[in-house]
Chain A
């Protein structure tokens, strides 16, 4: 079955840039999406179609994709950005969807 691979954890100081990666063989042909999930809450979409930001998501969140890797970048991370982040995409057939294993972002 198809897998997306993320680092388990990333840690930055407030104001620094946090980068979370997601690797998958189908990413050259399939969009990546990114979700933020804070403790006890439902996930929130923060990036769609590799690099687009939904309305209401702060400009410090951005996304990019190159080859088999997608990246979520949080420029000037803030304490309130502490959360688990998940990438999401489809396999090469487009029928199976998958989440990455998740990355816990610590900002302190």
Chain B
């Protein structure tokens, strides 16, 4: 069974930093694109960043470029998101999501999702 478990969320002051982690199990982590998606309280989903299988390709939404860094450790079956220079508008539940490798090719489209970790940016 595919499992994605996020951790590392919490309360942080504006300008502060956090590192989110996502522990993956139940599938061959190194074969899959991985994605971070966030959802502000009462708002819609927002794609944040994704990373390819070996970490050589990384893409970000414009609003986090230069502040957030996505990374992965395939030996540890783990995905990370480093959040720096945090702003109030970064307050959200952050979901880790895995891509899909059915049909003979691998896609970055989020298929498997964790339950999310809440990041609150407030003084």
Q: Which residue of B lies closest to A99 (CB)?
A: B45
Taking a contact as CB atoms under 8 Å apart, the answer to whether A96 and B113 are in contact is no
CA distance A80 to B95 in the complex (A): 24
Indicate if A97 sits at the interface (CB-CB under 8 A). yes
Instruction: Assign chain B's interface to a size class.
Output: 20 to 34
Asked whether B61 lies within 8 Å of A99 as measured between CB atoms, the reply is no
Interface residues on A, range: 20 to 34
B84 near A: Cβ within 8 Å? no
Cα distance A45–B110 in the bound complex, in angstroms? 8
A102 touches B95 (CB 8 A): no
Point out the residues of chain A lying under 8 angstroms from B21, CB to CB.
none
A102 and B50 contact, CB distance less than 8 A: no
Is A43 in the interface zone, CB < 8 Å from B? yes
A33 touches B45 (CB 8 A): no
Interface pair A43/B44, CB less than 8 Å apart: no
Residue B82, interface by CB 8 Å: no
1/0 contact trace for A14-48 toward B, CB 8 Å? 00000000000000000001010100001111001
B59 at the interface (CB under 8 A from A): yes
Most-contacted residue by chain A among B45, B100, B108 (CB, 10 A): B45
B70 CB, min distance to chain A CBs, angstroms: 13
Q: B32 → chain A, closest Cβ, in Å?
A: 14
Q: Do residues A42 and B95 form an inter-chain contact, with CB atoms below 8 A?
A: yes
Closest chain A residue to B109 by CB distance? A33
Q: Which residues of A are found within 8 Å of B59, using beta-carbon distances?
A: 95-97
Sorted from nearest, which 8 A-B pairs have the closest CB atoms? A42-B113, A102-B44, A97-B47, A99-B45, A95-B59, A101-B44, A86-B45, A1-B62
Interface residues of B (CB under 8 A from A): 35, 37, 44-47, 50, 59, 61-62, 95, 100, 108-111, 113-116
